[in-house]
C-alpha cells in the first residue's frame, strides 16, 4: 500500500468507525458486531502507526467515543473517564506486561504487581458521594463531559444510597444487565412483537439513558464498581487495597479480580477467565490487566484517550458451523410475525443452540439465507445466538428460498407487510396469539374506556377461561367477576356497570378499540363523523376513503383489508348481539358547528381542561385538532410553558388564544 492508498483508507476507516461508534454509543443501536468494529479500529490504529503523518485528533484512536445526549444535564468529570486500549493476542499482552516490568525496574518500583479483572459488557457510570450519601451519577459521555442520570441510577438496587462511612468519594463502575435478565427481556419483546435488543450492553445503555426514570425502573439494571476516581481524607497504595475498601463501604465490586506478579500469571488469569466466562452470570467482552501500584500508575500516566497502566484483552468470538433445517414463524402479542431458524443442535460458548431469531424478511434477504444452508453462527454479547452468514460454498442446489407467510400461522387471517415497515403482521382480530394485547387495547381509556378492567384482571380472566375473545367481555356475569377477588362484591358491581355503560359509547371509540392498523383516535373520529354507522364504514371503498381529509391511501387500504377479514365480521356481529352501539352520536351531542372548517393546535399545559377534553369540545363544535402548526392552522390554544409550536404560530401570524379566550368562544 502506497501513501496515497494509505491516506484514502485511513479516511474511509475514520468515517466508518465514527458512524458505527455513534450507532453503538449514542443511538444504542449497533449495526455491526463488536468484533467487526474492533477489527476496523485495529486496522486504523496500525495504519496510523505506519503513517504517523496522517494521524488526526479527530480519529477515534485519539479520543473517547461517545457524546452527551440531548435532554440531559451535562456533568464535567474532574477525573476524565478514559477508555482502555484493546489488545487481541496473548503475545501482545505478554509483551505489554514485560514492558511495564522493565519500566518498574527502572523506576525502582518494589511491588510491581498486576490485577486481572473481567471486562464487563455494560455502560460506564460515575457515582459521587458526599458525607457517605449518593448525590450524583453520570455517564462517561465523551470522557470529559457526561450525562446526569442521577434519578435513573437511584433505581438500581445495588447502588447504595448511603455508605458505611461518612466519606466524600467518587467511584467508577459498569452498569449492566445479567444474562438471565437479558434473555427474559428479549423473550418478552419477542412475544410482544417488539424489536429485540441487539446485545446486553446496548439494552443497559438505552435503559440508563432514558429521560423518564420510570422506564429505567422497570429494567433489570445492575452494577459492579471497579475503581476509585477521587477520595477525600484517605489514601491507598494499591488498586487491590482500593477494591477491598470499596466492598467495605457497601459497593457491589467486580467479583473477578485475580492478583498476578508475572506475565505468566497474567496469561493464566486471562485463560481462566476465558474458560469460566460461560459460568458467569453477566456478559463480558474481555479481561482487563491493571497495574496494581497506584504511585507507579502516576509515573506511567495516560495518553489523550487511554491510561498507560491498563489494557484490555478482547476474546475472539466463538463461531461454529451448523445446518439450518427449517424456518418457522412465531406470532407475537402485537401480531408481528417473526421468522425463527431451526438449527441442527450445536454447542457454542458453553450452551447448546438449536434455534435463533432471523428478525424479519429483510434480514433474511440481506444475508441471502436459505433453508438447508450450512450457516456460521456465533453468540452475540455472550448471550444471543446469531447467524453470521451462510456458507455458500457448501450449497448443493437443494436449498430453498424462504417466503414470509401470506396468512397468519396461528389463526389463518391475512398477514400483511405495510409499505415502509419491516414487520409482517397478522390482521386477525381474534388471533389467540394477540388476544391479550387486543383485549388490553379494547378496554383502554382512549378506546372503550372500561374502568377496572386492567391488564392483570384480563390475564386472570383468560387463565380461568372466562373469556376467549373480545366480545366475551359483554357476557361476563356478576358471579364471574366476583370470583376474581376475595370479597369482590363491590369490585364486581362497579365493573359490571362500567362494561354496561361502554355499550353506549360513541362509534369512534369502538373504531379505535378494534385496533385497525394506522387508525388512531383522530382517524376514528373522522370515520365516525363521515359514515355515521359501522355498516357504512364496512361498505366503503378505497376511492371513497382516500378522498377524506387525513385519510390517505395507506390508511384506506388498511381499513378495507381489516373489514374484509372473516374474524372482523364475526367480532362485529358478536358485539352487535351484545348491544354495543354501532352509530355515531356526533349529531346527537349538538348541532352547533361554530368551529366548522377551523383547525386548532393545542400547546402547553391547560389549567381547566386536559388535552383530550379540550379536543373533544373543539370537535363537538365541528372543528379539527392538529398536532402540528402550519399555514392551515386557525387558532393555537396556548397554556403554561408553551414551546416551539407557539413560536412557530407567532412567526406565521396565526391567532393565539388563551384558556380564558377559549372559554368565551365555547360559551
Mean pLDDT is lowest, of 8-17, 172-181, 225-234, 257-266, for: 8-17
Q: Write down the pLDDT at residue 59.
A: 85
* For range 326-349, the mean pLDDT: 88
Q: Are residues 462 and 545 both part of a single domain?
A: yes
pLDDT in tens, 150-168: 999 999 999 999 999 999 9
User: Residue 635 is placed in which grid cell?
Assistant: 387558532
Q: Are residues 350 and 378 both part of a single domain?
A: yes
Q: Are residues 596 and 565 both part of a single domain?
A: no
Strand locations in 542-634 (E): 599-603, 624-626
Sequence length of the chain is: 667
DSSP 214-280: HHHHTS--EEEEEEEEEESS---SBHHHHHHHHHHHT--B-S-EEEE-SHHHHHHHHHHHHHHGGG-
The answer to whether residue 403 is domain-embedded is: no
Is 119 catalytic? The answer is yes
CA distance 533 to 508: 10
More confident residue, 408 or 58: 408
Q: Are residues 389 and 422 both part of a single domain?
A: no
Q: Write down the pLDDT at residue 442.
A: 94
Q: Is 408 helix (H, G, I), strand (E, B) or coil?
A: coil
Cα Rg of the chain (Å, integer): 30
Read off the pLDDT band of 55 (50, 70, 90): confident
Decide if 352 contacts 346 (C-beta within 8 A): yes
Burial of residue 224 (CB within 10 Å: 0-12, 13-18, 19+) is: buried
User: In this prediction, what percent of the chain has a pLDDT beyond 70?
Assistant: 95
The answer to whether residue 69 is domain-embedded is: no
Q: Which of 297, 313, 329 is the last residue of a domain?
A: 313
Q: Are residues 430 and 447 both part of a single domain?
A: yes
Burial of residue 466 (CB within 10 Å: 0-12, 13-18, 19+) is: middle
Read off the pLDDT band of 651 (50, 70, 90): confident
- Judged against a pLDDT cut of 80, whether residue 379 lies above it is answered with no
Mean pLDDT is lowest, of 50-64, 221-235, 294-308, 469-483, for: 50-64
Q: Is 343 helix (H, G, I), strand (E, B) or coil?
A: strand
Read off the pLDDT band of 457 (50, 70, 90): very high
Burial of residue 308 (CB within 10 Å: 0-12, 13-18, 19+) is: middle
- Other Cβ atoms closer than 10 A to 582: 17
Q: Write down the pLDDT at residue 381.
A: 54
Q: Write down the pLDDT at residue 396.
A: 95
Q: Are residues 104 and 251 both part of a single domain?
A: yes
- Other Cβ atoms closer than 10 A to 428: 27
Burial of residue 487 (CB within 10 Å: 0-12, 13-18, 19+) is: exposed
Q: Write down the pLDDT at residue 68.
A: 62
Burial of residue 278 (CB within 10 Å: 0-12, 13-18, 19+) is: middle
The answer to whether residue 404 is domain-embedded is: no
Signed CA dihedral, 432, 433, 436, 437: sign only: negative
Q: Are residues 230 and 163 both part of a single domain?
A: yes
Q: Are residues 240 and 380 both part of a single domain?
A: no
Decide if 597 contacts 631 (C-beta within 8 A): no
Decide if 116 contacts 266 (C-beta within 8 A): yes
Q: Are residues 193 and 292 both part of a single domain?
A: yes
CATH number, domain at 90? 3.30.470.30
Read off the pLDDT band of 589 (50, 70, 90): very low
Mean per-residue pLDDT of the chain: 89
CA distance 232 to 482: 62
CATH number, domain at 452? 1.10.150.20
- Judged against a pLDDT cut of 70, whether residue 380 lies above it is answered with no
CATH number, domain at 348? 2.40.50.140
The answer to whether residue 123 is domain-embedded is: yes
How many domains is the chain partitioned into structurally? 5
Q: Which of 586, 607, 641 is the last residue of a domain?
A: 586
Q: Are residues 481 and 344 both part of a single domain?
A: no
More confident residue, 34 or 559: 559
Largest CA distance in the chain: 94
pLDDT in tens, 495-550: 999 999 999 999 999 999 999 988 988 899 899 989 999 999 999 988 889 888 77
CA distance 310 to 237: 17
Q: Write down the pLDDT at residue 70.
A: 64
User: Residue 253 is placed in which grid cell?
Assistant: 465490586
* For range 78-99, the mean pLDDT: 92
**Candidates 8, 119, 218, 267; catalytic one:** 119
CATH number, domain at 30? 1.10.287.610
Decide if 659 contacts 609 (C-beta within 8 A): yes
Read off the pLDDT band of 110 (50, 70, 90): confident
Q: Are residues 148 and 258 both part of a single domain?
A: yes
CATH number, domain at 597? 3.40.50.10190
Q: Are residues 216 and 294 both part of a single domain?
A: yes
Q: Write down the pLDDT at residue 588.
A: 44
Q: Write down the pLDDT at residue 303.
A: 86
- Judged against a pLDDT cut of 60, whether residue 382 lies above it is answered with no
The answer to whether residue 409 is domain-embedded is: no
Decide if 357 contacts 196 (C-beta within 8 A): yes
Q: Which of 313, 345, 366 is the last residue of a domain?
A: 313
Q: What domain range is 379 assigned to?
A: 319-394
* For range 32-49, the mean pLDDT: 82
Q: Is 159 helix (H, G, I), strand (E, B) or coil?
A: coil
* For range 74-84, the mean pLDDT: 91
User: In this prediction, what percent of the chain has a pLDDT beyond 90?
Assistant: 53
pLDDT in tens, 616-644: 889 888 888 887 888 889 999 998 878 77
Q: In Å, what is the CA distance from 462 to each residue of 322, 456, 469? A: 40, 10, 9
Amino acid at each position: 500500500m502506497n501513501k496515497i492508498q494509505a491516506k484514502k483508507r485511513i479516511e474511509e476507516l475514520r468515517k466508518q468507525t465514527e458512524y458505527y461508534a455513534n450507532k453503538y454509543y449514542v443511538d444504542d443501536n449497533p449495526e455491526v458486531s463488536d468484533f467487526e468494529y474492533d477489527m476496523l479500529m485495529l486496522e486504523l490504529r496500525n495504519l496510523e502507526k505506519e503513517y504517523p503523518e496522517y494521524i488526526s485528533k479527530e480519529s477515534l484512536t485519539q479520543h473517547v467515543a461517545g457524546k452527551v445526549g440531548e435532554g440531559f444535564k451535562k456533568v464535567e468529570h474532574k477525573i476524565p473517564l478514559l477508555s482502555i486500549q484493546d489488545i487481541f493476542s496473548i503475545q501482545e499482552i505478554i509483551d505489554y506486561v514485560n514492558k511495564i516490568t522493565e519500566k518498574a525496574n527502572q523506576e525502582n518500583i518494589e511491588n510491581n504487581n498486576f490485577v486481572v479483572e473481567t471486562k464487563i459488557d455494560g455502560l460506564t457510570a460515575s457515582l459521587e458521594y458526599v458525607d457517605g450519601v449518593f448525590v450524583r451519577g453520570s455517564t462517561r459521555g465523551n470522557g470529559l463531559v457526561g450525562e446526569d442520570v442521577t434519578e435513573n441510577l437511584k433505581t438500581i438496587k445495588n447502588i447504595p444510597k448511603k455508605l458505611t462511612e461518612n466519606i466524600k468519594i467518587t467511584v467508577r463502575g459498569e452498569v449492566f444487565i445479567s444474562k438471565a435478565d437479558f434473555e427474559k427481556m428479549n423473550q418478552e419483546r419477542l412475544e410482544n412483537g417488539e424489536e429485540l435488543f441487539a446485545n446486553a450492553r446496548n439494552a443497559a445503555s438505552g435503559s440508563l439513558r432514558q429521560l423518564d426514570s420510570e422506564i429505567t425502573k422497570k429494567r433489570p439494571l445492575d452494577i459492579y464498581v471497579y475503581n476509585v476516581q477521587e477520595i477525600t481524607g484517605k489514601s491507598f497504595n494499591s488498586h487491590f487495597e482500593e477494591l477491598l475498601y470499596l466492598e467495605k463501604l457497601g459497593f457491589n465490586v467486580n467479583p473477578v479480580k485475580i492478583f498476578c506478579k508475572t506475565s505468566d500469571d497474567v496469561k493464566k488469569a486471562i485463560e481462566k477467565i476465558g474458560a469460566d466466562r460461560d459460568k458467569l452470570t453477566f456478559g463480558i467482552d474481555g479481561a482487563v490487566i491493571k497495574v496494581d501500584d497506584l504511585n507507579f500508575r502516576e509515573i506511567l500516566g495516560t495518553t489523550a484517550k487511554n491510561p498507560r497502566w491498563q489494557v484490555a484483552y478482547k476474546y475472539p468470538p466463538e463461531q461454529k458451523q451448523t445446518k439450518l433445517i427449517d424456518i418457522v414463524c412465531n406470532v407475537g402479542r402485537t401480531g408481528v410475525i417473526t421468522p425463527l431458524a431451526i438449527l441442527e443442535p450445536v454447542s457454542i460458548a458453553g450452551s447448546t443452540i438449536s434455534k435463533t431469531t432471523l428478525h424479519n424478511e429483510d434480514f433474511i434477504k440481506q444475508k441471502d439465507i436459505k433453508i438447508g444452508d450450512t450457516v456460521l453462527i456465533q453468540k452475540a454479547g455472550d448471550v444471543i445466538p446469531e447467524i453470521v452468514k451462510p456458507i455458500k460454498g457448501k450449497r448443493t442446489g437443494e436449498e430453498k428460498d424462504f417466503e414470509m407467510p401470506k396468512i397468519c400461522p396461528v389463526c389463518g387471517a391475512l398477514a400483511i407487510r405495510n409499505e415502509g415497515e419491516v414487520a409482517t403482521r397478522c390482521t386477525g382480530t381474534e388471533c389467540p396469539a394477540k388476544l391479550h394485547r387486543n383485549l388490553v387495547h379494547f378496554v383502554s381509556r382512549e378506546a372503550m374506556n372500561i374502568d377496572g378492567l386492567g391488564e392483570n384482571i384480563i390475564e386472570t380472566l383468560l387463565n380461568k377461561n372466562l373469556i376467549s375473545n373480545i366480545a366475551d367481555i359483554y357476557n361476563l356475569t356478576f358471579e364471574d367477576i366476583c370470583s376474581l377477588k376475595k370479597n369482590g362484591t363491590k369490585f364486581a358491581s362497579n365493573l359490571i356497570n362500567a362494561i354496561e355503560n361502554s355499550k353506549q359509547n360513541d362509534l369512534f371509540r369502538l373504531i379505535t378499540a378494534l385496533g385497525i392498523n394506522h387508525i388512531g383516535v383522530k382517524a376514528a373520529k373522522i370515520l365516525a363523523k363521515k359514515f355515521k354507522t359501522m355498516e357504512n364504514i364496512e361498505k366503503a371503498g378505497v376511492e371513497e376513503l382516500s378522498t377524506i381529509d387525513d385519510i390517505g391511501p395507506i390508511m384506506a387500504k388498511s381499513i378495507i383489508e381489516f373489514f374484509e377479514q372473516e374474524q372482523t365480521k364475526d367480532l362485529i356481529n358478536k358485539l352487535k348481539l351484545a348491544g354495543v352501539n354501532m352509530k355515531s352520536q356526533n349529531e346527537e351531542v349538538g348541532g352547533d358547528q361554530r368551529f366548522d372548517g377551523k383547525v386548532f393546535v393545542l400547546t402547553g399545559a391547560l389549567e381547566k381542561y386536559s388535552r383530550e377534553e379540550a379536543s373533544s369540545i373543539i370537535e363537538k363544535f365541528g372543528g379539527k385538532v392538529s398536532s402540528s402548526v402550519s399555514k392551515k392552522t386557525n387558532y393555537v390554544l396556548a397554556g403554561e410553558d408553551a414551546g416551539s409550536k407557539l413560536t412557530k404560530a407567532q412567526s406565521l401570524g396565526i391567532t393565539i388564544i388563551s384558556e380564558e379566550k377559549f372559554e368565551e368562544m365555547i360559551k
